[in-house]
């Protein structure tokens, strides 16, 4: 019609409307704030790493493998090393994994898949969350009483076993919570599908829910392990050795009932020494500790990508 020809062309009007507001000031400010926060935390991390590297890399150049094998000593910086610390940390980790993973996942499955939504169960749920926030030194005191003193006949006192059990109960709430969240993220429709073809609850959990939740559970577990690697305070309380340590010569299983030290404990001990020569050693030990933690995180990421599923 003729009227249509007089006004602006429809396509122009629509194109105009689609262009939107030219500047979104609030949005830009918000984005800048986010970016700033990100850069700030990255910067702090970089400064930290640079500082540690400056102090510690020299040690690796001078002594290399010898430092990695060396014993914990506070008197002779030329022979001191992190060997015992690495071994101790690894033994502790084995314990943490063996204790916290099965118990934590089992507890999460119970709470998430079996327990009904009663007041009591919600109370338990809330308290597990609270436990995850309890300062680690408190777990140290708990470990001292239970694993070092009461269960001394079993653990042998201030041993790897006592330290490992203490760290295990320290990370247990984290393992439970992350596993519960992973289980909760599995859509109910998958459970219904399983029940719908006549599977029992356990069959549904084993065949469908657990595999679907595995990436989340594994990530959470590995992250809690990397937390355990770095814990110092509870280990000091339950008696990780900070001085000269005589170990070795006995079998793998005996080593669980011997005295031990751990990397963060080594770092802690050396930091408190007045001798300048130990500064560099401390930095070097921190580098080893960082590498261990980062490897644990890398494993978490690899596992997650490996098992990642979509639904």
Partner 1 sequence: METVTTDSPRNVHIDMGARKPNARPSGEPVFEVADLAVYYGPFRAIRDVSMSIAQHQITALIGPSGCGKTTMLRCFNRMNDLIETARVEGSVRYHGADLYDKRVDPVEVRRRIGMVFQKPNPFPKSIYDNIAFGPKVAGFKGDLDDVVEESLQKAALWDEVRNRLKESAMGLSGGQQQRLCIARCIAVRPDVILMDEPCSALDPIATGRIEDLMQNLKDEFTIVVVTHNMQQAARVSDMTAFFTAEVNEEQDRRTGVLVEYDKTEQMFTNPSDERTENYVTGRFG
Interface with partner 1 (CB under 8 A): 116-117, 187-200, 203, 207-208, 211-212, 309-311
C-alpha closest to that of 305 among 218, 246, 224: 218
User: Closer CB to partner 1, residue 213 or residue 280?
Assistant: 213
> 160 or 212, CB closer to partner 1?
212
Smaller CB distance to partner 1: residue 214 or 240? Answer: 214
C-alpha to C-alpha distance for 240 and 181, rounded to whole angstroms:
33
Smallest gap from residue 177 Cβ to partner 1 (A) = 21
Q: 90-125: b or e for each residue (b if 16 or more CB lie within 10 Å)?
A: ebbbebbbebbbeebbebbbebbbeeeeeeeeeeeb
Task: Report residue 108 CA to chain centroid gap.
Answer: 17
Q: Which of residues 124 and 190 has its CB atom nearest to partner 1 in the complex? A: 190
Nearest alpha-carbon partner for 143 in 118, 161, 120 = 161
Q: How far is the CB of 191 from partner 1 (least distance, A)?
A: 7
Residue 117 exposure: Cα atoms within 13 Å on the Cβ side = 0
One-character DSSP codes across 179-239: HHHHHHTS-HHHHHHHHHTT--HHHHIIIIIHHHHHHHHHHHHHHHHHHHHH--HHHHHTT
Minimum CB distance to partner 1 smaller for 63 or for 191? 191
Q: How far apart are CA 229 and CA 163, in angstroms?
A: 12
Q: Minimum distance between the CB of residue 200 and partner 1, rounded to whole angstroms? A: 5
* Cβ distance to partner 1 smaller for residue 73 or 121: 121
Q: Assign 63 to helix, strand or coil.
A: helix
Min. distance of Cβ 106 from partner 1 in angstroms? 22
- Upper half-sphere CA count for residue 255 (Cβ side, 13 Å): 19
Smallest gap from residue 116 Cβ to partner 1 (A): 6
Nearer to partner 1 by Cβ, of 10 and 116: the residue is 116
The candidate with the shortest Cα–Cα distance to 158, out of 259, 247, 243, is 259
Residue 218 beta carbon to partner 1: minimum distance, rounded to whole angstroms: 16
- Shortest separation between residue 215's beta carbon and partner 1, angstroms: 11
User: What is the end-to-end Cα distance of the chain in Å, rounded?
Assistant: 53
């Amino acid at each position: 019609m003729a009227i249509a020809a007089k006004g602006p062309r429809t396509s122009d009007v629509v194109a105009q409307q689609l262009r939107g507001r030219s500047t979104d000031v609030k949005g830009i400010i918000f984005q800048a704030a986010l970016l700033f926060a990100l850069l700030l935390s990255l910067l702090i991390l970089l400064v930290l790493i640079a500082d540690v590297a400056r102090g510690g890399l020299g040690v690796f150049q001078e002594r290399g493998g010898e430092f990695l094998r060396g014993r914990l000593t506070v008197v002779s910086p030329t022979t001191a090393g992190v060997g015992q610390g690495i071994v101790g940390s690894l033994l502790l980790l084995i314990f943490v994994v063996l204790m916290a993973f099965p118990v934590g996942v089992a507890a999460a499955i119970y709470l998430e898949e079996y327990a009904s939504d009663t007041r009591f169960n919600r109370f338990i749920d809330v308290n597990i969350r609270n436990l995850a926030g309890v300062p680690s030194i408190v777990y140290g005191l708990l470990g001292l009483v239970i694993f070092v003193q009461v269960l001394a006949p079993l653990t042998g006192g201030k041993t790897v076993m006592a330290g490992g059990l203490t760290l295990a109960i320290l990370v247990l709430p984290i393992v439970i919570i992350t596993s519960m969240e992973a289980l909760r993220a599995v859509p109910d429709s998958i459970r219904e599908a399983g029940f719908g073809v006549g599977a029992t609850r356990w069959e549904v959990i084993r065949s469908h829910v657990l595999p679907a939740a595995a990436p989340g559970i594994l990530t959470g577990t590995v992250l809690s392990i990397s937390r355990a690697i770095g814990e110092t305070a509870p280990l000091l309380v339950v008696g990780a050795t900070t001085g000269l340590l005589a170990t070795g010569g006995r079998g793998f299983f005996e080593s669980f009932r011997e005295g031990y030290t751990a990397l963060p404990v080594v770092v802690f001990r050396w930091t408190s020494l007045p001798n300048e020569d130990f500064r560099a050693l401390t930095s070097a030990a921190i580098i080893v500790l960082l590498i261990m933690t980062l490897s644990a995180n890398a494993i978490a990421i690899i596992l997650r990508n490996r098992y990642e599923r979509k639904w």
